[in-house]
Amino acid sequence: MVKQFINGEFVDSHATDTIQVLNPATNEVIGEVAEGDEQDLQAAVVGAKEAQKSWAKVNRVKRGEIVLELATLMEQNKEEIAKIYQEEQGKVYADALGEVEGSIGYIKYMTGLAQSAKGEVLQNQVDDELVMIVKKPVGVTAGIIPWNAPIFILMRKMIPALVTGCSIVVKPSEETPFGTFKIAELIQQTDIPNGLVQIVTGTGAGVGSMMSKNEDIDLISLTGSTGAGKAVMSESAANVKKVNLELGGKAPAIITDKADLDKAVKYIVQARIKNSGQVCTCPERLYVQAGVYDAFVEKVTTAMSNLVTGDPTDDKTDFGPIINKKQLESIDEKVQQAVGNGAKVLTGGHIVSDTPGNYYEPTVVVNVNDDSTIMTDEVFGPVLPIAKFETIDEAIDKANNSVYGLSSYAFTEDLKEAMTFSELLNIGEAYINCEAEEATTGYHAGWRQSGLGGADGTHGFEEYLNTTVTYFRYE
């Protein structure tokens, strides 16, 4: 589809260049999109700015009711959306459908917050004067969507923007644009006013950069790499634009001597292979206490070696392909570098070579140095590097020793240890004895170079609101 979605219609792009979209399971071309230009973006921003003026005047509860219509339509079309998503992204069907269903639930939750507008009325120190604090929509927002969860993260940015009274200009990933266009078709069938949702395709260096620099965009929300986040911050600085950034992660998982090892293996493996390991909250580095190290390594190696990677349309497949060849080669490079530095691969450790798709074997690596790239940099693939520790304090120091701070895991049946991890892990999310399942009611936010601001729950909802203070003198 060499179109852009502008003011409620699919229109020809002003750009002449296109981007091919590949199925990562086969590397076959499934379509192409426009490599959008400044004219495309400007048309989208102008339309979004005009539409937002009227939308902000609509009663918030009414806005929620209108946006909720999208959930109904997505429910009716969820199988089709999941199949589009599966083809362009490579998830197994159950995971693709699960993400669509999670997105529908997200819409229902966020539109419900329309009925919980909050403010404050305070007594000033001045006689006969009240202070009223209210929240107002930020204005025109922009959402830069990643390829690893393009439907859910689209909702994570679009729905709170619309319910709070903002408009949004969306740049889907050039790897996974077609599910977003399907959502646009459904938006056309709702009462969401034309212009509130604009979609401009292109690259991060192209359209994404233009968004960051555009003076009429009031907030830009990016989910992507830390490098992309730094670029957005730098380019937004000229207009002192509000930014919301969910960036990279290097989640540690700590397994203590008091852990239920079977539970730890189950949840760590589930999390590590979710979306072929291409999730920013996946466990990326494991620290196992000496007393259970050998037993845990044996159990997790067996579990990983029994997994099946391959065609995501095959019901026997546990996880599918890596998004593209560049990412596939990056994963392998980190594994081979670790081996070259003395690490040992217990299972996997190679690109699957007898297929045209982008597949990597489920991999366990031990004898890994703390300063090895595989322990410091995001791998974003089905690889578990494991290191040993002696004391709980040592494990916490190792876990906190990272430029990232998005998610973490800890497995222990000891309450004191669990509470210690909760208190001392300097990371945005801590999953104790469970897999990462971000609650819609929670708050997904990272520390350090994992981002600024956050998403989900009432805190995420308020990212799309600014504060106004009004002084009422009634003398």
Q: Give CA–CA dist 109/149, Å, rounded.
A: 19
Its sign, for the CA torsion 356, 358, 361, 365, is positive
Which entry of 99, 175, 246, 417 is annotated as an active-site residue?
246
> Is 463 an active-site residue?
no
Strand partners, 287: 254, 387
Phi, psi of 41 (to 5 degrees): -65, -45
- Dihedrals φ, ψ of 198, to 5°? -120, 145
Contact 283, 271 (CB under 8 A): yes
Q: Which residues neighbour 41 within 8 Å (Cβ) at sequence distance 6 or greater?
A: 169, 200, 207, 210, 211, 214
Give the amino acid at 301: T
Burial class (CB in 10 A: 0-12, 13-18, 19+), 390: exposed
**Three-state DSSP state, 267:** helix
Q: Which residue in 74, 70, 95 sits closest to 85, CA to CA?
A: 95
- Residues pairing with 319 in the sheet: 309
Q: Which amino acids are annotated catalytic?
A: 246
